[in-house]
Amino acid sequence: MKTLIKYMFVLSGAGALTACADLLETETKSSFDTETVFSNYELAEGCNFGITQALLEKANHRGRYHPYVGLNSDIEWANNWSNDTEKVNNDNRQAIYGYNLLPTNGEMNTSGSSADAYSPYYTAIERANLNIKNLRQYGDVANNPDMAYLLGEALTLRAVMYYDLIRAWGDVPFRTEPISDDIYIPKTSRDVIFKQILGDLQEAWDYLPWPGQGHATTTDRVSRAFAKGLYARLALMASGYALRPADGAVGTGDPGSIRLSSDPELQKEVLYPKALAACVDVIRNSGMSLYPNYEQLWRDLNNFDRTSAGTGREVLWIFPYGNNRGRWNYSFAIPHPGTDQYLGASAGTSSRGGNVGPVPTFWFEYEKQDTRRDVSCVNFEWEYVSGSTAAPQLAGIDQWFFGKYRYEWMENYPYSGGNDDGFKPPYMRLSDVYLMAAECAIHESCSDVDGGGLNNAKNYLLEVRKRAYAGNEQMAQVYVNAIGSADAMFEALVKERALEFVGEMLRKTDLIRWNLLKTKMDETKQKISDLNNWSGDFSYLSQGDGYIYYKVDGTKLEMYGLLPDEQTAPTDNTWIPYTDSKGAVARYMPCASKTDSPKFTQAEIDRLYDRDPNTRQYWPIFQSVVDNSQGQIRNDYGY
C-alpha cells in the first residue's frame, strides 16, 4: 500500500529527500492502488489538494516566504527599523528586508519541524509530478473532463511552485518527473524552467473551465482565467531583465549580471503577443469584472467573502489557506495591541500586524480623488483606550500600514488571537490582467495583433483607473486621453501598478523585470529625505509648519494637514489638533532644518537597502539545503 500512502502524507523537503526515497523505491503490488486513486475523481482530487498543503508549514508561505519575498521595494518597507548599526547587522529579519540575507541567516536557515522556506516547494512539486504522471496514465483525460480538470490543475499548481521559486531564488533545481534514482540534482537555468511551465500552462488551460464553471466554482481552485493570467505573468518575467549568471555558468558561483535572456524563445517579440492573447481572452470571455468598489473588495476579502468564482468576480486565484491557517494579517494588517474587541482572548498582550507597510511617502503619490489611497495606506494603529477596548490612534508620520488588511473587517470569521488568521491573499486579480495586457499591447510586436496597440492599451488602463476614481471617472478619462506614446504609457503603467498593488508583494518582481529596482528605490530614499527636510515635493509643508489635525470615525481615522491645500487650520471644530505626550499642540512632521529632531535619520533612510539591491535580487539557497545536497547545489550571485 506504500504507493497509496505516499499520496496521503507529507513527504520530506527537497533538502532532505532521503526520507521519501524508500516510499518511492519500494516495489509492491501497489500499482493497482495507484490506478485506483487516479481513476477516481474524489481520490485524485485529494492528491491535488496535497500539492498546496505542502506549503502550509510554519516556515513557508505562512511565516517565511510571503512576509519577506516582496521586500523591500520602492513602495513597501519594514516598519520599526533601527538605526543602530550593530543591531541591524545582527537582526536576521532586517537583513532580509535590507538585501543583506546570507545563507546562514537564522530566520531562514532552518530545518526539521520548522522547515526552511525553500524545501517545502519541492515536496509540493514532487506531489504535482506524481499526480501529473498518474493522471496521464490512469485518468483517461481524453474522455473524462473531470480527470482532465485535475491534470490541468496539477500542471498549473506546479507552474505556481516554480514561479515562486524563481522570483525568490532565480535558478533552482528542476524536476518534471517523480524522483527515481537522482535524489540530488544541481540547479537548472531558469530559461529551461520558463519554457517548460509556459508550455504546461498552454496545455492546462485547454483542460480548465472558466471561473464559476465545472470544478472552478471557488477561487481556491484554478481556472482557465488563472492559467492564462499566470502565463502572461511568467511571459513578462521570462522576457524581462534579471540578475542572471552567464550562459552555462548556473550553479558555478557566478556573480551574474543584470541582462535579458539570450534564449530566442524567450524574447519579448515572441512572448508578448502570446501573453496579450491570453490576457485578452480572459478580459473578453471569462465573465469576470472588476469589483465596482475598491474598499468593498478588500472588506470582502478580509471577511472571506471573495471565495466564490464566476461572473462579476475579480479574484482569479487565492492562496488556499484554511479559515484558521495563514499569517497574512498577522504580518501585514493594521496593528492591534493584543486582545481587544477584534482580537480573541488568546492574543493576550502581544500585538499583531504592522511588521511592514508602505514607505512614508507613498500615500502622497495618490490624488485625493483616488479611492485606493485610504484603503491602501493608513497612518493609524489600534491602541487601548479603556480596559481591553482599543481605538484608532495616530501612528507617527514614519509608520504607515496597509489598510487592505484589517482585523476589524474579519466579521464572519473573527480572528481568535492565535498565530494564524485565515486570510487568503489574492494571488492574482483581474486588474493585473488588464495592466499586463496594456503593457504587452504597447510593444511593437503587438501593434497589429488583436487587442494590441496604444489605443487598446489605453482602454485596458482606463478600466482600472475608472474603478479607482469612482465618482470622478472623468478624471480617469482625461488622464488616459493625455497619454500620447508607448513610452508615456509605460511610465503610466509603472506608476499604476504601484498604486493598484501596494502591499500585495508584486512590486519587487515588477521592478526587477523592468531593470528599475535600484533606480526606483533610490528615488524613494530621496523622497523620504525631502519629507524629512520639507523640500522638493514637500516644500509646501512649511506653510502649515508641520501641524496636523485628525478625527476618528468608527474604525477609521481621518487626517487633515498633509496636503498642499490643507496648510491652514480647518474651520470645522470637529478636527482635533495633534498633541505631544504632555498634551501640548505639537508638530506631527518634524523638520530637519528647524530645531526639531528629524523624523528619519540618514541611517534609517539608508536602511531601505543595506546592500546594493541589484546584486542581491535573489535570496541564497540556505546553508542547510546546500549542506544536504551532496555537493550538487552551489549559490551564485556572490553569496
User: Per DSSP, what are the bridge partners of residue 529?
Assistant: none
Q: Is 360 in contact with 541 (CB distance < 8 Å)?
A: no
| Calpha distance 190→167 (Å, rounded) | 10
Which residue carries 485625493 as its cell?
A: 368
Which of 80-89, 426-435, 448-457 has the least mean pLDDT?
80-89
User: Per DSSP, what are the bridge partners of residue 389?
Assistant: 386
Same domain, 625 and 562: no
Q: Is 530 in contact with 360 (CB distance < 8 Å)?
A: no
| Calpha distance 335→338 (Å, rounded) | 9
Q: Which residue type does 530 have?
A: D
Same domain, 90 and 74: yes
| Calpha distance 18→16 (Å, rounded) | 6
Same domain, 544 and 622: no
**In 3D, which of 167, 53, 60, 55 has the Cα closest to residue 108?**
60
Give the pLDDT mean for 6-32.
38
**Within-domain flag for 577:** yes
Give the pLDDT mean for 4-10.
40
**Within-domain flag for 492:** no
Query: What would the pLDDT profile of 329-382 be if each residue is shown by its tens digit?
Result: 999 999 999 999 999 888 888 899 999 999 999 999 999 999 999 999 999 999
**In 3D, which of 225, 179, 218 has the Cα closest to residue 201?**
225
Residue 82 confidence class, pLDDT cut points 50, 70, 90: low
Cis peptide before 92 (omega within 30 of 0): no
| Calpha distance 334→405 (Å, rounded) | 7
What 3-state class would DSSP assign to 560?
Answer: strand
> What is the layout of strands, in order, in the sheet containing 556-560?
556-560, 549-553, 576-577
Phi-psi region of 185 (alpha: psi -120 to 50; beta: other; left: phi over 0): beta
For the cut 80, the answer to whether the pLDDT of residue 262 exceeds it is: yes
Query: What would the pLDDT profile of 263-273 be if each residue is shown by its tens digit?
Result: 999 999 999 99
| First-to-last C-alpha distance (Å) of the chain | 44
Element (H, E) at 257: strand 257-259
Which of 11-25, 133-147, 519-533 has the least mean pLDDT?
11-25
| Calpha distance 25→446 (Å, rounded) | 49
**Within-domain flag for 352:** yes
Same domain, 21 and 78: yes
Same domain, 559 and 613: no
Note the pLDDT of residue 215: 98
| Calpha distance 118→123 (Å, rounded) | 10
Query: What would the pLDDT profile of 367-387 be if each residue is shown by its tens digit?
Result: 999 999 999 999 999 999 999
| Calpha distance 408→401 (Å, rounded) | 14
**In 3D, which of 98, 72, 81, 68 has the Cα closest to residue 396?**
81
**Within-domain flag for 583:** yes
- Percent pLDDT > 70 in the chain is 92
Phi-psi region of 293 (alpha: psi -120 to 50; beta: other; left: phi over 0): beta
C-alpha cell at 538: 514637500
Last residue of a domain, one of 423, 455, 472: 423
For the cut 90, the answer to whether the pLDDT of residue 402 exceeds it is: yes
**Within-domain flag for 49:** yes
**Residue 587's CB: how many other CB atoms inside 10 A?**
18
Same domain, 398 and 540: no
Query: What would the pLDDT profile of 196-253 be if each residue is shown by its tens digit?
Result: 999 999 999 999 999 999 999 999 999 999 999 999 999 999 999 999 999 999 999 9
Query: For the chain, what is the domain count?
Result: 3
User: Per DSSP, what are the bridge partners of residue 77?
Assistant: 357
Compute, in degrees rounded to 10, the torsion defined by CA atoms 54, 282, 501, 128: 10
**Highest-confidence segment of 6-20, 64-78, 106-120, 408-422:** 64-78
**Within-domain flag for 225:** no
For the cut 70, the answer to whether the pLDDT of residue 28 exceeds it is: no
Same domain, 140 and 99: yes
**Highest-confidence segment of 182-186, 327-331, 480-484:** 480-484
For the cut 50, the answer to whether the pLDDT of residue 128 exceeds it is: yes
CATH of the domain at 8: 1.25.40.890
User: Per DSSP, what are the bridge partners of residue 107?
Assistant: none
Which of 2-16, 144-158, 500-514, 570-584 has the least mean pLDDT?
2-16
Q: Is 138 in contact with 39 (CB distance < 8 Å)?
A: yes
How are the residues of the chain apportioned to helix, strand and coil, as percentages rounded to the nearest 5? 45, 10, 45
User: Per DSSP, what are the bridge partners of residue 358?
Assistant: 76
Phi and psi at residue 563, in whole multiples of 5°?
A: -105, 160
> What does DSSP assign to residue 317?
E
Same domain, 333 and 185: no
**638 or 311: which carries more pLDDT confidence?**
638
User: Per DSSP, what are the bridge partners of residue 558?
Assistant: 551
Q: Which residue type does 414 have?
A: P
Q: Is 608 in contact with 525 (CB distance < 8 Å)?
A: yes
Q: How far is CA 631 from CA 187, 252, 484, 600, 625, in A?
A: 11, 11, 55, 45, 10
For the cut 50, the answer to whether the pLDDT of residue 22 exceeds it is: no
- Percent pLDDT > 90 in the chain is 81
Last residue of a domain, one of 423, 447, 466: 423
**Within-domain flag for 89:** yes
For the cut 70, the answer to whether the pLDDT of residue 406 exceeds it is: yes
**Within-domain flag for 261:** no
Last residue of a domain, one of 362, 394, 423: 423
| Calpha distance 365→327 (Å, rounded) | 28
Phi and psi at residue 393, in whole multiples of 5°?
A: -135, 150
> What does DSSP assign to residue 456?
H
Same domain, 541 and 620: no
What 3-state class would DSSP assign to 122?
Answer: helix
Query: What would the pLDDT profile of 291-322 be if each residue is shown by its tens digit?
Result: 999 999 999 999 987 678 888 899 999 999 88
| Calpha distance 99→607 (Å, rounded) | 10
| Calpha distance 332→168 (Å, rounded) | 19
| Calpha distance 54→597 (Å, rounded) | 49
| Calpha distance 545→539 (Å, rounded) | 10
Note the pLDDT of residue 594: 80
Give the pLDDT mean for 49-71.
86
Same domain, 581 and 628: no
Same domain, 111 and 194: yes
C-alpha cell at 307: 471565495
C-alpha cell at 560: 487633515
**Residue 519's CB: how many other CB atoms inside 10 A?**
12
Average confidence score pLDDT of the chain: 92
Query: What would the pLDDT profile of 521-551 be if each residue is shown by its tens digit?
Result: 999 999 999 999 999 999 999 999 999 999 9
Q: Is 551 in contact with 575 (CB distance < 8 Å)?
A: yes
Note the pLDDT of residue 366: 99
Same domain, 197 and 345: no
Which residue carries 501641524 as its cell?
A: 547
Note the pLDDT of residue 23: 31
| Calpha distance 353→337 (Å, rounded) | 9
Give the pLDDT mean for 483-507.
99
User: Which residues span the domain enclosing 544?
Assistant: 536-606
Q: Is 159 in contact with 197 (CB distance < 8 Å)?
A: yes
| Calpha distance 633→137 (Å, rounded) | 32
